[in-house]
Amino acid sequence: MKVWQVLSFNEPEQLVPLAQAAEAAGFHGVLLSDHLFYPEQLRSQYPYSPDGKPGFDGATLFPEVWTSIAAMASATTRIHFSTLVYVLPLRHPLEVAKTLATLSRLAGGRVALGCGAGWIQEEFDQLGVDFKTRGARFDEMLGVLRALWRGGMVEHHGRFFDFDRLQMSPAPRAPLPIYVGGVSPPALRRAARLGDGWMGTGQDPAEVPALLARLRELRAAAGRASEPFETIVPLVTPPDLDVWRRLGEAGMTATTAWPFSYTLPPDATLAQKRDSLLRFGDSILAKLR
């Protein structure tokens, strides 16, 4: 079982030492969350809470993910990095492809793109991107990214993106994994058809086996049952090795440790956060080795 540490909502200056501590503790990787901004008047409904309101606001820290990962990768040697999740259809695939190809080379292939469709319409409106077509844009972008990352001359003529033959260098040295996040039927279909893996949104353990079974059905229907597939499932319950092992037998390949905002006081120091990571490594991760 791979275990990722969520490092979202921390001060940018703390990310490098926290990534180093996570590496020392034995985590497989660290995850960051992405939003471009938070509107003063939020009209969009958060899809993962009963009242439609997110658990963050404009003061919540969302450092730019790829800059942050570049800094953390330069100070570590083993630990992996991904996003939970990057709002992919908000961006242009040429820019995303260039950034991640370079980052993958600098990080020695330790970077994966964890991406979702997004839910804050105000972000899309501000950038002039059609919110209603984000799902279709998402699907097309995945094909564009993979084509660009293969290297060599590429052309694309699609519904949303159109370009003649061009080459983007450097290309990643190895395929760059794409993990698709979300629990809606379109998200599960997208992960099964187009992703190298799926990311949950914070699940009760009781609902995970059914989700994993549905993904297997969808992957089989897409002719992809034999391909490797990661399933990174954050759980809403405290760490429990027996639960992790049971869900591993059901097909869960990875889970996460909670953000510090769930486990430490709001004014926790860097030292307290580092100690928390190392204790988790000694008490939990050591038993998985």
pLDDT in tens, 206-245: 999 999 999 999 999 999 999 999 999 999 999 999 999 9
d(Cα 257, Cα 8) in Å, to the nearest integer? 11
DSSP state of 258: P
Over residues 121-145, the mean pLDDT reads 98
pTM for this entry: 0.97
Instruction: Let me know: does 208 contact 250? Beta carbons within 8 Å.
Output: yes
pLDDT category of residue 196 using cuts at 50, 70 and 90: very high
Task: Provide Rg for the chain, Cα atoms.
Answer: 19
Return the pLDDT at 72.
98
Residue 289's pLDDT is: 81
Q: Tally the C-alpha atoms within 13 A of residue 240's C-alpha that lie toward its C-beta.
A: 10
At residue 255, the 3 state secondary structure works out as strand
